[in-house]
Structure 1
Amino acid sequence: MTILVAVVTYNSERLLADLIAGLRSGLDGMKWHLTVADNASADGSVALVRSLAPEATVVEMGRNAGYAAGINAAVAASPAYDAILVLNPDVRLTPGCVPRLLAALRTPGTGIAVPHLVDGSGTLIHTQRREPSVLRTLGDAFLGARRAGRFRLLGEVVTDPRAYDVETFTDWAEGSTQLISAECWSRIAPWDESFFLYSEETDFALRARDAGLRTRYIPDAHAVHLEGDSRVSPGLWALLTLNRVRLFRRRHGRVRTSAYWVALVLRESSRAALGKRPSRAATRDLLTPSRLREVPGPASVVRSKPGI
């Protein structure tokens, strides 16, 4: 079995030494190949990968093409594989992580396996997600994500800590660390590059679920996601919010999307009223018709997502 490790970099030089060292630990005893797609980094990312992992494949995108485009290019440029490990540069695998994820892919109906993630301080990251809905967005608006997430109908982010103690299927999962079977990739790929950043993993996982290949959470596979939080950046939070509308519209049509848009405006405007700058930016963009119509790209983003 050969694992393709697909990493997208964008000014990620400071993260790469530990990333590559972690791969050797998390994939110990397995055959694997690293492919890095670089989105026109201005630092020494490309040179460092070639120095630390001379056997790796490096794809120089020539521009900041987005996360989905990088993943697609990395997979297309790689030798034969049995599964694809999509990995952010700021993720650190622990010993045994990938073998456990690979074993989970053998479970019938599984197309994607994801691990138990903690942040740099060891705090659990709520990675499990339910499919976006109007009611869940309203639940988030009125109750807050953490409280609403304890209830299946009212929250998109699964926040009950007990849910992270057991192996289970989830509608989709946070996209920093995902092992995708070769069958799932061949049937569902490519990742939708029109999203540029955010919602691409949601779209892929939901399309896989529609085809009977679900996302499976594995509690005894562990990894650390060091950083990367879109909420610190108004531009990124606005982009995330716009892409949520675009994804919902593709799956549900205009009428239901109108209700979803209203719920998002209510959520973001209420937080903007409390002085939250990211929500202020998101509200502004939600109320700007041209921003809802256009395909977001690099010019729409204040700064890149950390490590990508």
Structure 2
Amino acid sequence: MAPDVVVVIVTYNSAPMIEGLLDSLGPALAGLTADVVVVDNGSSDETAAMVRARADCRLVEAENDGYSAGINRGIRSAGPTGDIVILNPDVRLDPGSIRSLVRALDAEDVGISAPRVRSADGSLHLSLRRDPTLLRALGLSRLRRAAFSEHVQETSAYRVAHDVDWALGAVLAVSRRCLDAVGPWDESFFLYSEETDYCLRARDLGFRVRYEPQAGAVHIGAQSGRSDVIHTMQIINRVRLYRRRNGLLRSASYFAATVLSEISWVARGHRQSRAAVAALLRPHRRPPQIMGTGSLIPR
């Protein structure tokens, strides 16, 4: 029989994290059947061996072609049935959370659902996001105004179910209908902005992205670290995403706003932003993992 859901987890040197997530899956499913696929992107630690030793999941070993490539491999390996739940390995799921996320997909035109996320210390994690805009590229989220912040900072927004622009990709459920319509995740991003791109493409096709606070998860975070390369990849991919959805003039303004924002962070002692500014202004300094960044305004 086909499973109710396909759970796809992409790992990379995730040995300290993966078993805690897998142990939380049973209660999170709350009776749903699942094909649990762990796609290991070439880990050099014990991740693959730990997964291989378990009977409650299966392992797909792959080259490290990025997070989206891992998601796509996991989905392909599962076949054409069942809704999809995509998880980071540094997540711990609350009991019943997957069932709640899948139930949210039953509402009309809902293609993606996201849970209420807590940080490791139990505090609310600001996991909901707004569409990228020129004003939101200026780095003025400290003003706590929606016009200037991609992060949804109002705690009241996390109390009730509602539609959102997009949400943190650590835990997302995608309906099979939405997946079939939107297609594969964009592998050119390698890491960061892939969930933004996917949610926006789903909305382009008329699907809703739904926040469901009855589903809960803890995001331990910081597994990928905050290296110069990781931060630079995050910043470059934001510009690339905006460029793909907007004209050259608006994109040039967004690029300039991003440079100014990163310079302001350099002035405040943020070391990784120095590397990001260099990569923004000098295309040859950009991480080789992400594609199509040879022009000044990356695309």
Change (3 A) 1:104 1:146: farther
Match of 2:77 in 1: 77
Supply the distance in 2 between the matched residues of 1:257 and 1:9 (Cα, whole angstroms).
33
Which of residues 1, 13, 23 in structure 2 aligns to 1:11?
Answer: 13
Supply the distance in 1 between the matched residues of 2:247 and 2:223 (Cα, whole angstroms).
30
Match of 1:287 in 2: 281
Supply the distance in 1 between the matched residues of 2:176 and 2:200 (Cα, whole angstroms).
17
Range with greater deviation from structure 2 (16-25 or 111-120)? 16-25
> 1:231 Cα shift?
7.4
> 1:102 Cα shift?
1.1
Consecutive unaligned residues in structure 2, runs of 5 or more: 292-299
Change (3 A) 1:229 1:270: farther
Supply the distance in 1 between the matched residues of 2:96 and 2:121 (Cα, whole angstroms).
21
Structure 1 segments, 4+ long, off by >3 Å, are 289-295
Supply the distance in 2 between the matched residues of 1:231 and 1:42 (Cα, whole angstroms).
16
> 1:157 Cα shift?
0.7
Match of 2:290 in 1: 296
Match of 1:278 in 2: 272
Match of 1:263 in 2: 257
**Deviation per residue, 1:229-273 (Å, 9 max, x gap):** 777322211110000111111100211110000110110001101
> Are 2:37 and 1:35 equivalent residues in the alignment?
yes
Match of 1:94 in 2: 94
> 1:152 Cα shift?
2.7
Match of 1:2 in 2: 4
Match of 1:68 in 2: 68
Which amino acid in the other structure matches residue 147 of structure 1?
A: L
Change (3 A) 1:210 1:5: same
Match of 2:46 in 1: 44
Supply the distance in 2 between the matched residues of 1:82 and 1:235 (Cα, whole angstroms).
36
Match of 2:186 in 1: 192
> When the two structures are aligned, how many residues end up with a matched partner?
289
Match of 1:26 in 2: 28
Which amino acid in the other structure matches residue 58 of structure 1?
A: L
> Are 2:222 and 1:228 equivalent residues in the alignment?
yes
Percentage of matched positions with identical amino acids? 42
Which amino acid in the other structure matches residue 8 of structure 1?
A: V
> 1:171 Cα shift?
0.9
Is the contact between residue 57 and residue 77 of structure 1 (CA under 8 Å) also seen in structure 2? no
Which amino acid in the other structure matches residue 242 of structure 2?
A: F
Match of 1:158 in 2: 152
Change (3 A) 1:291 1:247: farther
Supply the distance in 2 between the matched residues of 1:64 and 1:295 (Cα, whole angstroms).
10
> 1:294 Cα shift?
6.8
Change (3 A) 1:35 1:230: closer
**Deviation per residue, 1:140-198 (Å, 9 max, x gap):** x2x3x2433xx332211100101101111111111000000000111112000000000
**Deviation per residue, 1:198-232 (Å, 9 max, x gap):** 01111110000010112110111111111227773
Supply the distance in 2 between the matched residues of 1:222 and 1:35 (Cα, whole angstroms).
21
